[in-house]
Structure 1
Amino acid sequence: MSQLQKATFAGGCFWCMVKPFDSYDGIESVVSGYTGGHTENPTYKEVCSETTGHFEAVEITYDPERFSYEKLLELYWQQIDPTDPGGQFHDRGNSYRTAIFYHNDEQRLLAEQSKKELAESEKFSKPIATLLLEAKPFYPAETYHQDYYKKNAFHYNLYRKGSGRADFIDKHWGQ
């Protein structure tokens, strides 16, 4: 029996970062929340004020024997614009930047390798701006943000399309 592990990714609006990871065998949970900042137990309003230092992120609990960290990284890159240092799509500001928060040296090395491979692939004409940062405490977001794509499917789909995320992913990854 393997030990469950955590992976933490910031990819702009956390609503759009849950669904891509949520339905795979070996992924136990995907939680929307905040990490990387200095305020304990921040609220959504505080994070949006850009005063907490936090990113909107997802914390994924997974079984590495059934779904590898490498597969998580591959899936992560396909959900974001990794070349945008100022946010994601229509969401601007530090709380919407992209980052991989590594939980150990193995994750750090794998994240560095996958970022390097993406840069060398020349899939994007601009440099990869996604940050690689050591994991900090993760604070789950308010209940109404959890599983937003399930609870508010119409609004979620409208937002994903209207923000430009859906078209970007389709253009670059054919999804």
Structure 2
Amino acid sequence: MADTKWKKATFAGGCFWCMVSPFEEQPGIQRIISGYTGGHKENPTYEEVCSNTTGHLEAVEITYDPTVFPYEKLLDLFWAQIDPTDPGGQFHDRGESYQTAIFYHDEEQKALAEKSKEALEKSGRFQKPIVTEIRKASTFYPAEDYHQDYHKKNPLHYKMYRKGSGREDFIKQNWGDMQ
């Protein structure tokens, strides 16, 4: 384990609470942090990000072992958590901070992300265009402690939120074969 070359992957998929558990259950995932990235405000707060004035998106930063769980598999799992055709947010969460994006950390990730987006476009899974952006990773600001591992700290509220937001039904309907 000492020789592991850990890498980072950063994904914005709407509410960051919903982006943690699908990844943490996978082999080779060391750590997942909920936070904010892509904007211009240093050290933003949740309230500032939700005001849609910081340019930041809610995101997760994943530390992973690419020899155990390759980046391509992370991308496949990311796509299966979102509606990649919605430019205005995700499900009932609307606004800039809930938009989807893949933040690449190196040129290999950029090329793989572009390839996976193109494959999804060509797959015919969706009638509308794929609008998820592929952007260069920038400073990642961890969210407040109460947002970290929210699904474990507040399991009932989290389950009600996933269902009530429409995310759970959308995933089952559009990605059931990927789960």
Fold conserved between structures, TM > 0.5: yes
* Corresponding residue to 1:54 among 53, 56, 68: 56
| Percent of aligned pairs with the same amino acid | 69
How far off its partner does 1:80 sit?
0.1
Distance 1:74 1:113 in 2: 11
For residue 117 of structure 2, what is the amino acid of its counterpart? Answer: K
CA distance in 1, matches of 2:38, 2:102: 10
1:24: how far off? Answer: 1.4
How far apart in 2 are the matches of 1:16 and 1:2?
27
Cα distance in 2, alignment partners of residues 172 and 93 from structure 1: 22
Q: Which residue of 1 aligns with 2:133?
A: 131
Question: In structure 2, what is the Cα distance between the partners aligned to 1:54 and 1:24?
Answer: 27
Aligned residues: 175
Q: Is the 8 A contact 1:2 1:64 kept in 2?
A: no
Partner of 2:13: 11
User: Do the aligned partners of 1:14 and 1:58 also contact (CA within 8 Å) in 2?
Assistant: yes
Task: State the partner residue of 2:23.
Answer: 21
- Report the secondary structure of 2:20's partner residue: helix
Residue identity matched to 1:103: H
Residue by residue over 1:126-169, the C-alpha shift from the partner in whole angstroms, topping out at 9 and shown as x without a partner, is: 00000000000000000000000011000000000000000000
**Counterparts of 2:101 and 2:175, CA distance in 1:** 19
- Cα separation, 2, equivalents of 1:127 and 1:168: 17
Give secondary structure in 2 for the equivalent of 1:71: helix
- Provide the secondary structure at the position in 1 that maps to 2:115: helix
Displacement of 1:2: 3.1
Q: Is the 8 A contact 1:90 1:163 kept in 2?
A: yes
Identify the residue that residue 77 of structure 1 maps to in structure 2: 79
The letter for the 1-side match of 2:141 is Y
Does 2:105 correspond to 1:103? yes
Matched residue of 1:127: which SS?
coil
Report the counterpart of residue 148 of structure 1 in structure 2: 150
- TM-score, with structure 1 as normaliser: 0.99
- What runs of 5+ residues in structure 2 fail to find an aligned partner? none
Q: CA RMSD in A?
A: 0.6
1 CA distance for matches of 2:56 and 2:65?
26
Report the Cα distance in structure 1 between the residues aligned to 2:59 and 2:104, rounded to whole angstroms: 13
Match of 2:114 in 1: 112
